[in-house]
A and B are shown apart, each in its own frame.
Chain A
Amino acid sequence: MAGLPERAEISPTADLTAAAPEAAAAELPPEIVAQSLGEYFRAYGGRIRAGESGVLPVVVAMVAIVVVFQAISPNNVYLSAGNVVNLFQQSAVIMVLAMAEGFALVLGEIDLSVGFVGACGAAITVQLVQPATTNWPWPLAIVAGLLFCLAFGAIQGLLITLLRLPSFIVTLGGFLVANGLFLKILLFGPFSGYPNLIGQTDNLHVIYYLMWGTIDPTTSWIGAGVAVAGLGALIWWSDSRRRGSGLVAPPASISLIKIGVVAVVAIVVVAICNVNRANLGTLEGVPWVIPIVLAVLAAWTILLQRTKYGRYVYAIGGNPEAARRAGINLTLIRTTGFMLCSFTAGVGMLLYGSYLNGMSNNVQGGQYVLYAVAAAVIGGTSLMGGRGRPLHGVLGGLVIGAIYNGMYLMGLQFEWQYIVTGLVLLAAIVIDAVSRRGSGSGSATRV
């Protein structure tokens, strides 16, 4: 216990804030110390120097990736509207899987099974809507697929929590079991292992449209406007109420900048999606998948940031012993965490099934696990538990999707894709380790 900070003792004064102002200030999120815009940016600069850089690495990486691939992609096709929308669609799968993985990572665990468990759920859904066999209505088929994922997550979670087995091994086993089950599920029915979404029934169409359906341009603008206005009003209302009652709150200019960033992102995305990207005829509007991903993001952000359940997930990830002493039911929270992880993975792989227009043994469940972990970590989620947000999965998913898409355009073969994926994952954990060392907060009690 001798390793606690000594710096405060150097000063003979009793005022501890005066004794350690630099060190402490550098580690604090700027929004809690800044009273003005200038202070905010100074605090932000201090945090970057301390290795606690927030989303900055993601933005820098994104810019670098875009510049490089735009320069080297054939005919500079990388930033064409058609490819950018395609990039969004490919990234959507990784984003949702990364949000799934986020539950396990914040708890201080890992789930290696997300790819194939989700693929099982998606395969069940795709099988059930086949008109040649079961022909279930699409809502029931989706529920059935997601229920399978919940059950699989529950079994893994109970093994991990009740028997105190390491999640790494349990979900590695789950990965193989799910891989086998997935291949089995594909073989049902007269589809030669390739149940697809080609056909004329509404049930097939809806699953296909999850990824490929578009919202017409006018509705896209209206929807984006409503979403930005709603979110902006929420940010402004809650920040100004907190400022008014003297609670810790960012300055008004920061609230406005936040709202401005949301608005600009929405306008850019909708504007790109509304370009006619078909070579012949018309293909325009925001794909359904974007609001779907945003809905998952909103739901899981509220759950993790605004509910008791979410608070307990972070507490367990930060210090399980503290959580236990606070009367938190660790078994329940951890198990439901793994269930939500598998459930969200089911959503992600259903989008993938829609993207592929069916399920087949080409689905790379193992590779997608690595994409998911890498995306979450690149976005800012810690592998050591206790830190991370659903938004990190979305940002990291965009980075991974941008790399994947670029390599695909370049015509790189699978072997190169594997190598680059592995390197990106390694880069992500290096960033995680370095940022933790910088912030000095990696010493939480682990039990």
Chain B
Amino acid sequence: MTAAVAEPRATAEPLLKVRELDKHFGPVQALYHVDLDLPSGQVTALCGDNGAGKSVLTKCIAGAYQADHGQVFWEGQPVHIHNARDASRLGIETVYQDLALADNLDIVQNMFLGRERLRTGLLDEDAMERAAAETLASLRVTTVKSIRQPVASLSGGQRQSIAVAKAVMWNSKLVIMDEPTAALGVVQTRQVLDLIKRLRDKGLAVMVISHNLNDVFEVADRIAVMYLGRLVVQAPASSFDRQSVVDFMTTGGSSRTGGRTARES
């Protein structure tokens, strides 16, 4: 059974398919038979209460954890993601909540950290600065004063934008964002949500982990909800309302949703 995705795109193979994923830490079953589809050109919101297994699932996809059982399909092919490098080779980039930017380095230096361009053995700052400027322009991140300013001098929304730009500049196809708006004010949240929509419009698959249902309904095309290690539902966002998402998050089921429960295991 394919997942209950009602949109026309669903006929195409999703970019990333997770099937029957299990993960346990000692006696604790963190993930139990999780199925998840992440199609290109759509934003999938992953919701769930604390401890529901959102982060574990994310880390299994990003290569930080190894699943015990189950399979991951990338563009239809079964793949094994052993570490973050495997993930980025496929085109999976993760923007973690703590952003992983070095405050003392400037925007260009952060965006190229670990993948610097060289010319005659020395850093090719000019080429890196041009490429970083192009990426920021294509994402319409225009509020930074100078591309050479240290990240320490940026606002929270700007930092988030830089972290996202860093993730997408490597021809990535799937961007996973962990609570991208958690620490942001209204204006900055607006910025980041617009940025997420732009990624979708560029044809990337985006997975956003979020507690904030305002943001979820604003930006998500699809919503997936986890409850106690199970993925209890995934469906187009239009088939949910706020209350049904809350019901799924807190009880694992809902009596009032139009969205069908994707799987009972």
Using CB atoms and an 8 Å cutoff, list the residues of chain A in contact with chain B: 1-2, 4-6, 8-9, 11-17, 19-20, 24-25, 27-29, 32-33, 241-242, 245, 247-248, 302, 306-308, 311, 314-315, 317-319, 321-323, 325-328, 386-387, 439-441, 443-445
B85: chain A residues within 8 A (beta carbon): 327
Knowing A28-B149, A441-B152, the reply to whether A245 touches B126 (Cβ < 8 A) is: yes
- Which 8 residue pairs of A and B lie closest in terms of their CB atoms, listed nearest first? A326-B114, A441-B152, A318-B104, A318-B102, A386-B104, A9-B185, A4-B156, A1-B183
**B185 touching A6, Cβ below 8 Å:** yes
A317: chain B residues within 8 A (beta carbon): 104
B185: chain A residues within 8 A (beta carbon): 4, 6, 8-9
**8 A Cβ contacts from B118-139 to A:** 118, 121-123, 126, 129-130
Complex CA gap A443/B99 in Å reads 14
**B187 touching A248, Cβ below 8 Å:** no
| Nearest-Cβ distance from residue A443 to partner chain B, whole angstroms | 7
Knowing A325-B84, A327-B85, A441-B152, the reply to whether A2 touches B183 (Cβ < 8 A) is: yes
A315: chain B residues within 8 A (beta carbon): 102, 105, 109, 113
Q: Given contacts A15-B143, A247-B130, A444-B102, list 5 more A-B pairs with CB under 8 A.
A: A1-B183, A9-B186, A20-B155, A307-B121, A326-B100
A15: chain B residues within 8 A (beta carbon): 143
Instruction: Decide yes or no whether B68 CB sits under 8 A from chain A.
Output: no
B146: chain A residues within 8 A (beta carbon): 28, 32-33, 248
**A248 touching B190, Cβ below 8 Å:** no
Q: List 8 A-B contacts (CB under 8 A).
A: A11-B187, A16-B191, A27-B150, A27-B153, A245-B126, A322-B101, A323-B114, A326-B113
**A4 touching B184, Cβ below 8 Å:** yes
Complex CA gap A242/B126 in Å reads 7
**B145 touching A19, Cβ below 8 Å:** no
A20: chain B residues within 8 A (beta carbon): 155
Q: Among B102, B118, B157, point to the contact of A308 (Cβ < 8 A).
A: B118
Instruction: Decide yes or no whether B182 CB sits under 8 A from chain A.
Output: yes
**B156 touching A325, Cβ below 8 Å:** no
Q: Among A247, A307, A386, A439, point to the contact of B102 (Cβ < 8 A).
A: A386
Q: Among B103, B183, B187, point to the contact of A19 (Cβ < 8 A).
A: B187
A247: chain B residues within 8 A (beta carbon): 126, 129-130
Q: Among A33, A441, A443, point to the contact of B150 (Cβ < 8 A).
A: A441
Instruction: Decide yes or no whether B158 CB sits under 8 A from chain A.
Output: yes
Instruction: Decide yes or no whether B116 CB sits under 8 A from chain A.
Output: yes
B191: chain A residues within 8 A (beta carbon): 14, 16
Instruction: Decide yes or no whether B188 CB sits under 8 A from chain A.
Output: yes
A5: chain B residues within 8 A (beta carbon): 155-156
B149: chain A residues within 8 A (beta carbon): 24, 27-29, 32-33
B241: chain A residues within 8 A (beta carbon): none
